[in-house]
């Protein structure tokens, strides 16, 4: 098992998310950066749906008590295995007594720690993803333990792919589709929404990111309607709110844009003060 010696800022267990319960008001949840989470599972030959640990901003200190392989992807947080620096995107073998800790956050915001075979934790409504009042925990705390099945595989490290895996989020441009309420706005308002440069505000978490700038002030209201992870709402005060994995399932602000799945992953690696731009991509029809 993994024993939590220090919790870090916000450390959770995530998988692909909780599907099929939207009509009960249950958020989807799941890894914020599903691309990095996918790389982590892939590097260990795990299933895509295997649960792993999502680490935010500052890492935890974790004690392993059984033999396994681990890999870290996503944000670079100066990881240390028994006080020796290790690298993201490389598979390591750990044994009983090994301690994983983290140092300075160098790049990105969310790091993913996968173990061989995935984490063996509580399943609620077909998912292991933490969410308050759904799972018994909403984040990992000191002294918590998480199980996994002991075992290792011979895995080669493919250095050649590291660049692809580590650089996909090194962009400030987010691909967006028009949202269902985009046409409520005039052409010049649409233009202003799309051409603005935006900054991640301090109000950013797994539910959503509010952007700093005032985009377009308006008095348009919609009747409460479904929203998705990646939906960008425009409040009457002109603020854009990007809904993310733990967002509620319905909303009442106009849905002006919709991020692609890739852009959700990119945004999940952005921190307060980071700049963002939108690239409109055509709808498939």
Partner 1 sequence: MSEYQLKFKSFGNTAILIEWPQKIAKEILEDIRIFSDRINRNDIKEIQEVNFVYASLLIIYDNNLISFKDIKHKLQLLYDEDNFAMQRHHTLWEIPVCYDEEFGIDLDFLSTEKKLSMDEIISLHSGTIYTIYGIGFLPGFLYLGGLDKDLYMPRRDTPRLEVPKGAIAIGGNQTGIYPQSTPGGWHILGKTPVSLFNARNEKPCFATPGDKIKFRPISRAEFEVIRIAEDTEVYELKKELYD
* SS3 label, residue 235: coil
* SS3 label, residue 6: strand
Spatial CB neighbours of 164, under 8 Å, sequence gap ≥ 6: none
When binding is defined by CB under 8 A, the residue of 174, 230, 233, 241 that contacts partner 1 is: 230
Residue 154 sits in the site that holds partner 1 (CB under 8 A):
no
Size of the site for partner 1 (CB under 8 A): 35
Is residue 12 within 8 Å of residue 140, measured between CB atoms? yes
- Closest approach of partner 1 to the CB of residue 226, in Å: 4
CB nearer to partner 1: pick between 237 and 283: 283
Structural tokens at position 175 = 């691909």
Residue 219 sits in the site that holds partner 1 (CB under 8 A):
no
Restricting to residues 174-213, which ones interact with partner 1 according to CB under 8 A? 177, 179-180
CB nearer to partner 1: pick between 75 and 174: 174
When binding is defined by CB under 8 A, the residue of 1, 67, 134, 207 that contacts partner 1 is: 134
- Closest approach of partner 1 to the CB of residue 207, in Å: 12
When binding is defined by CB under 8 A, the residue of 14, 190, 258, 265 that contacts partner 1 is: 258
Please name the residue ranges forming H helices in the chain.
34-43, 162-167, 187-195, 261-268
Residue 103 sits in the site that holds partner 1 (CB under 8 A):
no
DSSP H or E segment with residue 199: strand 198-204
Strand partners of residue 276: 198
Number of neighbouring beta carbons within 10 Å of residue 137: 15
Sole window of 25-33, 166-174, 195-203, 266-274 interacting with partner 1 (rule: CB under 8 A) = 25-33
Number of neighbouring beta carbons within 10 Å of residue 163: 10
Of 115, 118, 7, 107, whose CA–CA distance to 55 is shortest?
7
Residue 48 sits in the site that holds partner 1 (CB under 8 A):
no
Residue 49 sits in the site that holds partner 1 (CB under 8 A):
no
> Which region, left, alpha or beta, applies to residue 151 given φ > 0 means left and ψ of -120 to 50 means alpha?
left
- Closest approach of partner 1 to the CB of residue 186, in Å: 18
Note the residues at the interface with partner 1 (CB under 8 A): 19-27, 124-125, 133-135, 177, 179-180, 222-226, 228, 230-231, 248-250, 255, 258-260, 283-285
């Amino acid at each position: 098992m993994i024993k939590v010696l220090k919790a870090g800022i916000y450390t959770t267990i995530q998988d692909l998310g909780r599907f099929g319960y939207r009509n009960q008001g249950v958020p989807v949840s799941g890894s914020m950066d599903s691309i990095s989470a996918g790389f982590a599972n892939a590097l260990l030959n795990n299933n895509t749906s295997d649960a792993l640990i999502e680490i935010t901003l500052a890492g935890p200190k974790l004690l392993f008590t059984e033999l396994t392989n681990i890999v870290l992807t996503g944000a670079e947080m100066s990881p240390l295995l028994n006080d020796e620096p290790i690298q993201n995107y490389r598979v390591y073998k750990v044994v009983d007594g090994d301690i994983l800790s983290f140092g300075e956050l160098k790049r990105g915001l969310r790091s993913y720690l996968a173990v061989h075979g995935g984490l063996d934790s509580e399943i609620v409504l077909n998912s292991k993803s933490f969410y308050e009042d759904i799972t018994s925990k909403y984040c990992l705390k000191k002294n918590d333990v998480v199980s996994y099945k002991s075992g290792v595989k011979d895995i080669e490290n493919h250095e050649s792919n590291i660049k692809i895996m580590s650089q996909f989020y090194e962009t400030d441009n987010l691909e967006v589709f028009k949202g269902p309420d985009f046409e409520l706005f005039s052409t010049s308002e649409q233009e202003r929404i799309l051409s603005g440069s935006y900054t991640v505000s301090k109000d950013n978490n797994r539910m959503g990111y509010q952007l700093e700038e005032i985009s377009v002030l308006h008095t348009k209201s919609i009747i409460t309607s479904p929203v998705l992870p990646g939906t960008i709402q425009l409040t009457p005060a002109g603020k854009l709110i990007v809904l993310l994995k733990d967002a509620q399932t319905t909303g009442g602000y106009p849905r002006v844009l919709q991020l692609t799945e890739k852009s959700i992953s990119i945004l999940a690696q952005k921190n307060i003060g980071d700049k963002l731009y939108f690239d409109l991509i055509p709808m498939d029809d």
